[in-house]
Amino acid sequence: MFAVSNSKQMNLAPKMEAIQIQKVQNMLVIQHIDWFGTSDELKEMDEGIKKACGELDGIEYMGRWSSHQARYHFCYLFKTEVYMKVMDAWGKAGFERDYSKLTHSVMEILGGPQHT
């Protein structure tokens, strides 16, 4: 319950019968990164995440891309069923983050498509 300016109480909770839960069939996860290590170290990280994704079900590694409009140096692109698969893949990749080389990492998660 929330108080409104005219002192009446208004129930803002959604009616459960009106909610339709749609299962997301696919997710695209874009992981934006800033990289200050060597190109060889970056290639080593690329190979580690590619191999880890190949060993896991429910995730497809779609490569490292460069952005022409985002503020980050590169982004990794994954197609997955659930976000945690990306975290599992990084756990298997054998990569220990060095914050002086991988200074920023931001995830963007897209679910859909909403309609085709």
Q: What is the CATH number of the domain that holds 72?
A: 3.30.70.100
Q: What are φ and ψ of residue 52, in 5° steps?
A: -65, -40
- Find the mean pLDDT for residues 39-62: 96
Q: Does residue 30 lie within any of the structural domains? A: yes
Q: Does residue 16 lie within any of the structural domains? A: no
Q: Which residue has the higher pLDDT, 62 or 71?
A: 62
Q: Does residue 12 lie within any of the structural domains? A: no
Q: How far apart are CA 54 and CA 22, in angstroms?
A: 28
Q: Does residue 45 lie within any of the structural domains? A: yes
What is the number of structural domains in the chain? 1
76-110 pLDDT, tens per residue? 999 998 889 999 999 999 888 999 999 999 999 99
Residue 70's pLDDT band (cuts 50, 70, 90): confident
Alpha-carbon Rg for the chain, nearest whole angstrom, is 20
Q: Does residue 5 lie within any of the structural domains? A: no
Q: Does residue 70 lie within any of the structural domains? A: yes
CA 30 → CA 1, 4, 11, 40, 75, distances in Å?
37, 40, 37, 22, 6
Q: Does residue 55 lie within any of the structural domains? A: yes
Q: Which residue has the higher pLDDT, 6 or 90?
A: 90
Q: Which domain holds residue 42?
A: 23-112
pLDDT at 115: 66
Q: Does residue 3 lie within any of the structural domains? A: no
